[in-house]
Amino acid sequence: MEIFGNKCHKIIHGNTVDALTREVKDSSADLIFIDPPYNIGKNFNGHKDRWENDSDYLEWSYSWLQLCIKKLKPTGSLYVMTSTQFMPYFDIFLRNKLNVLSRIVWYYDSSGVQAKNYFGSLYEPILFCVKDKNNYTFNVDEILVDAKTGSERKLIDYRKDPPQVYNSKKVPGNVWEFPRVRYRMDEYESHPTQKPIALLERIIKASSRPGETVLDPFAGSFTTAYVSQQLGRKSISIELQEDYIKIGLRRLNLSDEYKGKKLIKELKTYEEIRLNKEQLLLFEKNDKPYLHRKNKKNTEKKLPKSK
């Protein structure tokens, strides 16, 4: 197990069960966001997210869920995701240990290939739980959204005495629509299940205050820690894969190198093409060879015709 970071943002490279047991103090997290492998066969950098059978996956999941409950402050909140097929088990396991306040559906549209012989899945479930239902943080004013019906049409609510115009803002309901992270988005990182910044912003703004600690036991591309940092929260992140640890170190600006190598965000293919075009122009203008940042060969790549 290796630990990186500073006083505000800690990154633990290791197995979440060991890391939670050995490196995270009991009752220390104000907010825990858990986005584990879903047991649906995703490929995490060569590691298949698939257990021998369902009970093995559930047994493993219950072990870190139990630990997370231990690490949560008495006033803390816990959000957990998993696939639609396993969420009912998580729900039943947690409802006797925490108070489940919302069963959230994160809905997204998909322009990609959809199932043709059944109704394809366009949502992921999220459970929102608290330890003490009479004492937890919920910053309503931080997460208000436009209340479209009524206010947009300037309708009057005649049920009120005296009648009033409809509110223009409201607390979001439990169906959240945020686009998935796409390759062309600025926030895109090379991770198969990266969660959107907007999703984490809503959770962190609602359920924590500046200066408080947000724990993410399956950090992936480190969206939780990144948003925590942007919003002035502290963070503790745990991740098994070295390649993703490198994303975290770079995304949180904790280091600009890892084991002697510079941490640079990979260029996207269209950015490389654009860069090559610019380099060619530079080459033509200066009439002297130009060395590509990555390797010399790139300057010899056939370039698409300019428009």
Ligand X SMILES: C[S@@+](CC[C@H](N)C(=O)[O-])C[C@H]1O[C@@H](n2cnc3c(N)ncnc32)[C@H](O)[C@@H]1O
Q: Are 10 and 32 in contact (CB under 8 A)?
A: no
Nearest Cα to Cα of residue 197 among 235, 231, 223 = 223
* Non-local CB neighbours of 269 within 8 Å, separated by 6+ positions: none
- Distance (Å) of CA 163 to CA 69, 148, 149, 193, 296: 46, 19, 17, 48, 73
* Interactions with ligand X, residue window 42-81 (CB under 6 A): 44
Least separation, in Å, of the C-beta of 107 and ligand X?
17
Show the tokens assigned to 132: 């003490």
- For the beta carbon of residue 236, count every other beta carbon within 10 angstroms: 28
Give the per-residue contact string, 5-44, with ligand X (x = CB under 6 A; - = no): ----------xx------------------xxx------x
Residue nearest ligand X, Cβ-based: 220
Q: Which amino acid, residue 84?
A: T
Question: CB of 236: closest distance to ligand X in angstroms?
Answer: 12
- Token pair recorded at residue 305: 């015709």
- Of the pair 19, 276, the CB lying nearest ligand X is at 19
Stretch that binds ligand X, among 82-90, 217-225, 262-270, 298-306 (CB under 6 A): 217-225
Residues in 259-298 that interact with ligand X by CB under 6 A = none
Run of H or E residues at 63: helix 54-71
Among 195, 234, 246, 251, binds ligand X (CB under 6 A): 195
Residues 6+ apart with CB under 8 A from 275: 267, 293
When the beta carbons of 131 and 195 are compared against ligand X, the nearer one is: 195
- Shortest distance in whole angstroms from residue 230 CB to ligand X: 14
Q: Minimum CB separation from ligand X for residue 34, in Å?
A: 9
Interacting positions 117-146 with ligand X (CB under 6 A):
none
Residues 229-258 that bind ligand X (CB under 6 A): 238-241, 244
Cα(200)–Cα(198) distance, rounded to whole angstroms?
6
User: Should residue 194 be labelled a site residue for ligand X when binding is judged by CB under 6 A?
Assistant: yes
Query: Could you tell me the smallest distance in angstroms from the CB atom of residue 119 to ligand X?
Result: 23
- The C-alpha atoms of residue 31 and residue 73 are separated, in whole angstroms, by 8
Measured between its terminal Cα atoms, the distance across the chain in Å is 51
- Sole window of 1-9, 90-98, 104-112, 189-197 interacting with ligand X (rule: CB under 6 A): 189-197
Closest approach, Cβ 120 to ligand X, in A, equals: 20
Q: Three-class SS of residue 221?
A: coil
Beta carbon nearer to ligand X, 5 or 37:
37
Phi-psi group of 45: left, alpha or beta (phi > 0 → left; psi -120 to 50 → alpha; rest → beta): left
**Which residue among 61, 83, 193, 207 contacts ligand X (CB under 6 A)?**
193
CA distances to 22, 193, 220 from 37, in Å: 21, 9, 10
Residue 146 or 242 having the CB closest to ligand X: 242
Segments in 120-260 forming alpha helices (H) = 197-207, 223-230, 242-251
Report in angstroms how near the CB of residue 216 gets to ligand X at its nearest.
7
- Please identify, using beta-carbon distances, which residue of 79 and 276 lies nearer to ligand X: 79
Minimum distance from residue 29 beta carbon to ligand X (Å): 16
Positions touching ligand X (CB under 6 A) are 15-16, 35-37, 44, 191, 193-195, 218, 220-221, 223, 238-241, 244
